[in-house]
Amino acid sequence: MLSAAFAVHPAAVASQRHSVRQHQQFCAPIRTATPRRRLPVAMLSVTNAVATQSRESSPAAPRKLSFPILVNSCTGKMGKSVAEAAVSAGLQLVPVSFSAIEVPDGKLNICDRDIHIHDPSESERILRSIAKDYPDMVVVDYTVPDAVNANAELYCKLGLPFVMGTTGGNRQLLNKTVQDANVYAVISPQMGKQVVAFLAAMEIMAEKFPGAFAGYKLESYP
């Protein structure tokens, strides 16, 4: 009877509830607030500094090439087009060319430049003299097939690097002449851009797909 009276005594019950509330409050999990993102005060300054440093450290744009080029001959359609393209590209067009075709006053105007046209019989004497004034000169040949080998021999004799844009001639002899003279030269069976692109594509395909073109022969005709 005593124990029952003690269990239901109001004071005891109130004391027990107060103790439980204190225990629950003490054991409640601690919640941490999500920290606010703070933007760096000097972000803009640092970004500008990095961008400035990047611009200063970046390599300078390559300068445009500008070397003397002599187009032999400028009287033909292809030679004239090459001369005009050279001027447009910023190259220095040497005001001399050779041709058996007579032109008025012995001069041809290309891009507001007077090109003096000389007879091919004078080519060695004039080229030798011109090479002293333009030591880095490159000759681009667009003449006739019958003059390919003779012109190449002359260029090699004078030590002039050249591009043989003329189709024809004895190509094996042409290659041998260049190799024996140890002169820089660009020689292709055909200098038409479509043909050159096709030849380059064939080289790539030959590397990627060896044997795919076995049995085929590449021929070029003037």
pLDDT digits (tens, 9 = 90+) for 157-168: 999 999 999 988
Q: What's the gap between Cα 187 and its chain centre? A: 21
For the cut 50, the answer to whether the pLDDT of residue 41 exceeds it is no
In a domain, 164, yes or no: yes
CA separation for the pair 12, 14 (Å, rounded): 6
Domain of 192 in residue numbering reads as 68-196
CATH number, position 162: 3.40.50.720
pLDDT above 80 (res 106) = yes
> In this structure, is residue 13 part of a structural domain?
no
17-21, 29-33, 75-79, 124-128, range with greatest mean pLDDT? 124-128
Overall number of domains in the chain: 1
Q: Is residue 114 situated within a structural domain?
A: yes
Answer whether residue 125 is part of any domain: yes
Contacts with 177 (C-beta within 8 Å, 6 or more apart), sequence order: 149, 152, 153, 156
d(CA 53, CA 58): 8
Mean pLDDT of 173-188: 93
Beta bridge partners of 118: 98
Answer whether residue 134 is part of any domain: yes
